[in-house]
Amino acid sequence: MSKPNPSQQNARYAALAAVLGLAAFAAAPLAQAAEPIRIAVIAENSAIGGIAITNAAKLAADEINAKGGVDGRMIEIIDYDDHNSATDAVRAFQRAASQDHAIAVISSYMSEVALALEPWAARLHMPFITPGAASNEITRRIHEDYEHNKYTFHGYLTSTELAQTVCNFSHDVLVTKLHMKSTVVMSEDAAWTKPLDNEYLACLPKAGLTVLDHIRFSPDTTDFTPLFNQIEAKHPDVITAGISHVGVQPTVQWASQQVPIPMSGISSQATTDTFWRDTNGAAQGVILEENAAPNIAVTAKTIPFAQAYIKRYGVTPGYAGYSAADDVNIIAEAVKRAKSTDPDKLVAALEQTDYIGTMGRIQFYGRNEPFTHGLRYGPGYVTGVVVQWQDGKQVAIWPADIATGELKFPSFIKLPEQHAGK
């Protein structure tokens, strides 16, 4: 058989190169389609509120991937521990954007951290959702400078809305049913409690509770005896709390000193059953606001999510776990709608969110509304629930349509005489 001449060989090589080039071109979209969708999760993994964010995000991603991902692309969670430090969180955010190719960031239950990340979301054009920080300042910045700060979304209720939920419950249950008339506000000194306390002082009187005193204490406080003595001297019917960075110590001391006044309000650490163990049952009777709870069918997704979380991690999810799981799904749906991970297209798609999550129907406020990119709050959306610790379980006591039990207090609690005589 004769050998091909050089011109024939060159023609063959050219044809082969063309075929290989076409094959590589055809394979490129397939390779791109298989590229995972990377979502960065930056949280305080040593804290009850923080580790729930990381755990819930991974659980939500696995559930999405088990159903085929987003148009065949898998969700990949890249997690970082910020060690309760805004500086470490910023470094992680920068790495997520520049090195790890994340398309969005979910981060923090601490307002100080979320507020530190917000400018970086603007600089790096990185969509960012906080699942647990509450400060009104987060949405205020977006509202006042939308073009720069539009990349930030608030995946949790603002401090003002949290306070309003507590006030609504206080009116419906503490005032109307238990005939309470007065309270002392006791909050840790933190960014999220400044607007919380402002709203407490405005809405508690409207709910029917006269505010006898307003106490703000350092999160480093270890001995709450002087504070409880100060409160007892005022003889309020209930303590309205705003605590997150602390929780175990004041609760243990409240029970051990048998402070005869019910404790209500917000206690972030008390949102998971590790709190019952950490307080050795001193949480009995504590009343707290949450957006969702393990045994409460806020939506059809709430209880199944909580059960899956318990099965994997052995504990109930902290409050930010519900919102973090919802946020992963929200981002996945936004990518699907946008058909892109381009930041601006993703922001536009996130603004169109209408998702039934574990906390309720989730939509974000628009650019012309005061709480821009905050969760829409109120009936039909996210309203919050109130539970009480009873015998190791969180029992729903408000609102009435999802309540599973009645208030039950430890024997050392003294209720108003008006109620005792009925």
Cβ neighbour number for residue 256 with a 10 Å cutoff: 12
Q: Which of 286, 293, 225 is nearest to 253 (CA)?
A: 225
Residue 17 has pLDDT above 70, yes or no: no
pLDDT confidence of residue 29: 47
| pLDDT over threshold 50, residue 150 | yes
At 16, the pLDDT band (50, 70, 90 cuts) reads very low
**Predicted local confidence at residue 248, as pLDDT:** 85
Confidence band of 304 (pLDDT split at 50, 70, 90): very high
Question: Which residues in 245-358 belong to E strands, given as ranges?
Answer: 263-267, 287-290, 355-356
Mean pLDDT of the 370-382 span: 95
Task: Spell out the residues 6+ positions from residue 217 whose beta carbon is closer than 8 angstroms to its own.
Answer: 186, 187, 188, 189, 224, 227
Query: Tens of pLDDT along 192-235?
Result: 999 999 999 999 999 999 999 999 999 889 999 999 999 999 99
Question: What confidence category does residue 8 fall into, taking pLDDT thresholds of 50, 70 and 90?
Answer: low
Q: In angstroms, rounded to a whole number, what is the distance separating the alpha carbons of residues 47 and 188?
A: 17
Whether 191 has a pLDDT exceeding 90, the answer reads no
Q: Does residue 25 have a pLDDT over 70?
A: no
pLDDT value of residue 79:
96
Q: Could you give the 3-state DSSP secondary structure of residue 223? A: coil
pLDDT surpasses 90 at 170: yes
Question: Considering only 298-302, 333-337, 415-419, which range has the smallest mean pLDDT?
Answer: 415-419
3-7, 105-109, 281-285, 306-310, range with the lowest pLDDT? 3-7
Average pLDDT over residues 13-42: 60
Domains defined along the chain, listed by start = 34-157+300-362 (3.40.50.2300), 160-290+391-420 (3.40.50.2300)
pTM: 0.87
Residue 162: what pLDDT?
A: 95
Confidence of residue 30 (pLDDT cuts 50, 70, 90): very low
pLDDT of residue 231: 96
- pLDDT of 10 above 90: no
Q: What is the pLDDT of residue 7?
A: 53
Residues in Cβ contact with 266 at an 8 Å cutoff, skipping those fewer than 6 apart: 162, 166, 196, 241, 242, 243, 244, 288, 289
pLDDT value for 417: 64
Interhelix angle 302-313/319-338, rounded to 10 degrees, is: 110
Q: What is the pLDDT of residues 224-281, one digit of tens each?
A: 999 999 999 999 999 999 998 787 899 999 999 999 999 999 998 888 888 899 999 9
Which pLDDT tens digit goes with each residue over 67-91?
Answer: 999 999 999 999 999 999 999 999 9
Separation CA 49–CA 40 (nearest Å):
17
Q: What is the mean pLDDT of the chain?
A: 90
Residue 288's pLDDT is 94
Say if residue 124 is exposed, middle or buried (CB neighbours under 10 Å; 0-12, 13-18, 19+).
middle
% of the chain surpassing 90 pLDDT: 80
Which tops the pLDDT comparison, 34 or 159? 159
